[in-house]
Structure 1
């Protein structure tokens, strides 16, 4: 716990919220990113007070708040333990609605196509070639196929600057360990992908949350920080941002790219959702190709299990350097998934799947528009998650609402998991994708709406 408490001490010092409210947020955040697990023992009140340089009463009040939110349990004589997620109660016919993990929907119309093409590929391939070590970063044929597919978003895409990797998350680990040494700073928005928070904490990289508005990170804030400090890089998720669903407009991208160019700050463009919209503004890789590491993949188009990501580096030399770091951390991408990805890009299955996912996303977002009418939430019509604001005067706190929904078989993620500035808004993220059908999505959203309208369960016992 020593590493975690030192991280908490800094976050508490930087947070505008009282420490007794910040500590429960940090416990929830650590649960979300895996640094705490259910049944982990927490420090005693006096030990934590000493580690965080707080008084005993403040920590006692914080633990009391965490208990109210259902995050921890205290057992007389044995200490305080992380409670973790409540077990899900079946919602319908023995199933529950997993709206926690951001997964694309699974269009049933393409299931047969995927099954048949997978079988044909494996039948026509010498099996032992798939069980051997492969060329790192993809074979020349793999890279050529992906390069052509990427040029719609990265005009300068070239095989010599492209790497095929086992997922965006592992590529981010390698890239951040290369660009930012321990103690250096990564500029991010106040809300960001929880994975980047976990990676930065693991590597000892400091996250600097810069102010943002409805268009994204504010240019003047980024420039002022560049003048006063030398950030290791700028990290952004500009298209259908996770969790806010916002797509950064062209004008804001141009401003941030210009500042990065003037101060020579590398850009990490996490474009996991970039292929979903039919039209998007120019990527940072198009606006500042000499500085941008562009990342996208297939897990948000096909499914999370297809851990195939594509990283386009600013130059062949930088691609080779990143390849060395990736080789040390991941060895290689799976030959099976590379085979599928390349074939599906070449035979048009990837584009058909994208079109089907977009169509299903639009249908599910239309359901959300109807069920959540009048409630403040943000969504992209071609995306598969939404960002639900609880609204002024709502009795629920995000963590309490998320925990209560889990007890009813509905997964949701509270804003604390995404907050990088210690001041999360009153909001939760709900995923509309995954294996459920439209009826399940509608029923689940109706339960969410009814819960917001009737918070009588707020202080009832959680399962």
Structure 2
């Protein structure tokens, strides 16, 4: 592939068009005139911006427009290259597809060994599936509970099988736990920015959520103590590792203080540890510090994939397990024996560990793209997370920014979905995972960076 285009500089026609469109037009004109040939690499964005005395965002937007027209394609880490005229590259075709950054899915590693191991697990369930087609003991078979205990030890969390339930996903378990602890009108405390699923369940049950203020170390224990005395809450719900959406982790020092406050007020804790296994280094689970009060939830949606609807629920005691089993059986009957057996197989043979490791590695690679492309933006994230909390510059409101991106086939979630108290902050959550490739993600991040750098966009409107 040639590199003669590295020194290319467009001649911009006089026009009322925005500069970025004139650059894209010049690329098309020079391809037709033979001044740019198929496979040539265009100058890096910063080099062309310097040569034309323009800002980086304008040139990046021009390349995005040329790519949308099928004139060029990009390869992460290599640059932008000229396409065959009339034959848009696969990359330019994919750019027209919507990039969904709303569902907080783990990235999907394209690893042949993982695929082979997962397929082997599926085959291991046969050839006689009939036993798995029958009603099973609620809370999982002995083999499923054994696998649950083994998986929780990765946290590490020491728990006996008589304190574990295998559930059909975190949502069903959370519904049962909240329903057993609180009644309509009761208060449950949570982070001021919290999981939308909690808000939905609380609304169904008529439970009032009261949010705890957040900073970079998680929620404030002093506020927890004050609100316990003021509201006499029935429970504390928290997502204490890589909080969705704000990507903060409750510090170890605060965890010990929270344990003391919970004991003082006899406050049950619902620890939703959805992201607890992602960071290589993490503080101890609250369930280890105050096991007698903690309902610990751990699913596979954020490590293997949302389609594996299995979650493990570790309870404060065997007596609580017996009581909660009645509620869960009434609402869900049982976890799918086939799905639970598959999860157990993947836990026991190491496939789940491999998937978690690959998810962590892919998240690191995607966060590196964020660091490079969103340099200068005001955001919070973590090298091993797959979501980003992006704060708005003064020129943008969260709603206008999300609408602008939606017009460019990029979907994000505004802070309103997570806020518990008062006015939502001017921020949006970006999910870096799901089926989108790194190339698609990089393209979307460039468009997000372009939008952030456009002054006055909130007041000027969007199209």
Q: 1:285 & 1:314 partners in 2: Cα distance?
A: 8
- 8 Å Cα contact 2:170-2:311 kept in structure 1: yes
| Offset at residue 379 of structure 1 (A) | 0.7
Gaps of 5+ in 2: 1-91
Please name the residue that 2:275 is paired with: 273
The corresponding residue for 2:388 is 386
Can you give the 5+ residue segments of structure 1 that lack an aligned partner in the other structure? Answer: 1-89
Q: Does 1:443 align with 2:446?
A: no
In structure 2, C-alpha distance between the alignment counterparts of 1:328 and 1:91, rounded to whole Å? 49
Per-residue CA shift, 1:77-120, capped at 9, x if unaligned?
Answer: xxxxxxxxxxxxx9736532111000001111145324521442
- Which residue matches 1:219? 221
For 1:418, the equivalent position in structure 2 comes to 418
Asked whether the equivalents of residues 405 and 448 of structure 1 are also in contact (C-alpha less than 8 Å), the reply is yes
**In 1, Cα distance between the equivalents of 2:234 and 2:251?**
24
Question: Counterpart of 1:163 in 2: which secondary structure?
Answer: strand
Q: What is residue 408 of structure 1 aligned with on the other side?
A: 408
1:242-280 superposed Cα distances (whole Å, 9 cap, x missing partner):
001111110011111110011100000000011111221
Q: What is the distance in 2 between the residues matched to 1:390 and 1:122?
A: 49
User: Could you say if the C-alpha distance between residues 147 and 92 of structure 1 is closer, same or farther in structure 2, counting changes exceeding 3 Å?
Assistant: same
Q: Which of 332, 352, 355 is the aligned partner of 2:354?
A: 352
What are the Cα deviations for residues 308-364 of structure 1, in whole angstroms up to 9, with x where unaligned?
111000000111211111111111111221111000000000111111010000000
1:260 aligns to what SS in structure 2? Answer: helix
Give the whole-Å Cα distance in 1 for the aligned partners of 2:198 and 2:448.
28
Aligned counterpart for 2:232 among listed residues 230, 233, 246: 230
Deviating above 4 A after TM superposition, structure 1's stretches of 4 or more consecutive aligned residues are: 455-463
Q: Which residue of 2 aligns with 1:454?
A: 454
In the comparison of the two structures, how many residue pairs are matched?
Answer: 371
How far residue 401 of structure 1 moved from its aligned partner, in angstroms, is: 1.4
TM-score by length of 1: 0.77
Deviations 1:187-236 (A, max 9, x none): 11110001111111110001111223221221111112222331100110
Q: 1:408 to 1:456 in 2, by over 3 A?
A: farther
Q: Map 1:220-259 to 2 at 5 A.
A: 220-259=222-261
Q: Is the 8 A contact 1:385 1:432 kept in 2?
A: yes
**Aligned residues of 1:297 and 1:309 also touching (Cα < 8 A):** yes
Paired residues of 1:153 and 1:286 also in contact (CA < 8 A)? no
Kept in 2: contact 1:104–1:357 (CA 8 A):
yes
**Displacement after TM superposition at 1:403 (Å):** 2.3
Structure 1 residue 409: deviation in Å?
A: 1.4
Q: Name the structure 1 match of 2:300.
A: 298
The structure that has the greater radius of gyration is: 2
Matches within 5 A, 1:257-336: 257-336=259-338
Cα-to-partner distance string for 1:26-58 (whole Å, 9 max, x where unaligned): xxxxxxxxxxxxxxxxxxxxxxxxxxxxxxxxx
Question: Which residue of structure 2 lines up, in the alignment, with residue 181 of structure 1?
Answer: 183
Q: Distance in 1 between matches of 2:400 and 2:461?
A: 11
- Offset at 1:459? 6.4
In structure 1, C-alpha distance between the alignment counterparts of 2:344 and 2:248, rounded to whole Å: 30
